[in-house]
Structure 1
């Protein structure tokens, strides 16, 4: 089993997930004062929008108060439950953005091989394939945490079955939780831990905690950098 770097904010209840698309619909209803007009303004079918609201209400409670009559089929307003749900969604989004803002690992090493923009950089942990447009010598690489996959060492696929050829075994040295998103720091023997973002569900499923062994994987195309000059003093 592995983490999947899909971190759009969402809130779940009873197997139903409210995501950004649903939030856009609820806000349109609040703005337009009508479910029909809201769906039209978003280029969605009224029937589909209505079905979606019913699905959400089955899971979260009453979200839209409807009034019959009028040329547009009556007015619609958001309930207090809907407004609280929107506020909770924004807190979840802010939590992710706060965790993700500095979730990046900087790696350094020496460029050993070059094939166009793709290079092999020798680091203390081993070779890393990365994109470095030009230059040779030392390289500084940047790796976004949401591009990193963590797997249980026993469940890690063989290299031939994945495009993430950069792979290191390490030990978790830090776990920082937001409301829905968790930042995991993994020591793989280089200058600083590699950071990965996972959902809280993934953290629980994989049992990610300090001291656990994991395999860190990431694609060359997710690892970008520049060659840096080394000046002698």
Structure 2
């Protein structure tokens, strides 16, 4: 059986309230227009679509680990680079997870990189070594290593020049727990 064209809108309206004002035909003709709620839902969809498109193009570092503690929406994971905190969606202590960190979420600090913990909310902090940098038209990508794990870090050309990163430099990297996603490992022999 084919789905009626209006049934999708009706299903959305069941979930989100009235989204479309409908006017039946007549001397002035009929038509439909979005309600305020419909416009807000469409705007929200557009924002989410833009975020997903951007996320798909940003390289990320993926590290395997085991959940050691859970505190609300955040969990602490034991990884090859040490303890890392991130957002989760239903993990438990002992679960195997992947820690995913987007290159646009990480900040590089040259020198000893010491910052008063009360001056930043970036709870994930690691010492790293610069492995190299690649320069694009407007963005540079630094590759830094931490205990054999390579993090990619996106930065403006201006920041890259100011930092003057060269291979072998010791740096600090930081990123917020809220910019870290924990994804449960699938069981089985999937090795993609």
TM-score interval for Structure 1 and Structure 2 normalised by the shorter chain: 0.5 to 0.7
1:146 maps to what in 2? 104
Secondary structure of the structure 2 residue equivalent to 1:193: strand
CA contact (8 A) 2:63 2:80 kept: no
Q: CA deviation at 1:155?
A: 4.5
1:119 maps to what in 2? 75
For 1:43-54, list aligned pairs within 5 A: none
Q: How far apart are the structure 2 equivalents of 1:153 and 1:108?
A: 28
Runs of 4+ in 1 over 6 A off after TM superposition: none
Aligned partner (choices 201, 212, 227) of residue 158 of structure 2: 201
> CA deviation digits over 1:100-152, x for unaligned, max 9?
92421112111000112210000111100001111231111211111111102
Secondary structure of the structure 1 residue equivalent to 2:137: coil
1:173 maps to what in 2? 131
2:86 maps to what in 1? 130
Q: How far apart are the structure 2 equivalents of 1:203 and 1:156?
A: 19
Confirm whether residue 103 of structure 1 aligns to residue 67 of structure 2. no
> What is the alpha-carbon root mean square deviation over aligned residues?
2.2
Secondary structure of the structure 1 residue equivalent to 2:99: strand
Q: How far apart are the structure 2 equivalents of 1:139 and 1:127?
A: 13
**Count of residues in correspondence between the two structures:** 134
Confirm whether residue 213 of structure 1 aligns to residue 170 of structure 2. yes
Q: How far apart are the structure 1 equivalents of 2:174 and 2:113?
A: 13
Q: CA deviation at 1:230?
A: 4.6
Q: How far apart are the structure 1 equivalents of 2:183 and 2:64?
A: 10
TM-score by length of 1: 0.53
Q: How far apart are the structure 2 equivalents of 1:122 and 1:153?
A: 26
Higher strand share: 2
CA separation of 1:142 and 1:154: change in aligned 2, threshold 3 A: same
Q: CA deviation at 1:207?
A: 1.1
> CA deviation digits over 1:3-50, x for unaligned, max 9?
xxxxxxxxxxxxxxxxxxxxxxxxxxxxxxxxxxxxxxxxxxxxxxxx
Q: CA deviation at 1:153?
A: 3.2
CA contact (8 A) 2:127 2:172 kept: yes
Which 5+ residue runs of structure 2 have no aligned equivalent?
1-52
Which 5+ residue runs of structure 1 have no aligned equivalent?
1-96
Higher helix share: 1
> CA deviation digits over 1:154-191, x for unaligned, max 9?
3431212110010000101121110121011110115x
Q: How far apart are the structure 1 equivalents of 2:66 and 2:123?
A: 18
TM-score by length of 2: 0.64
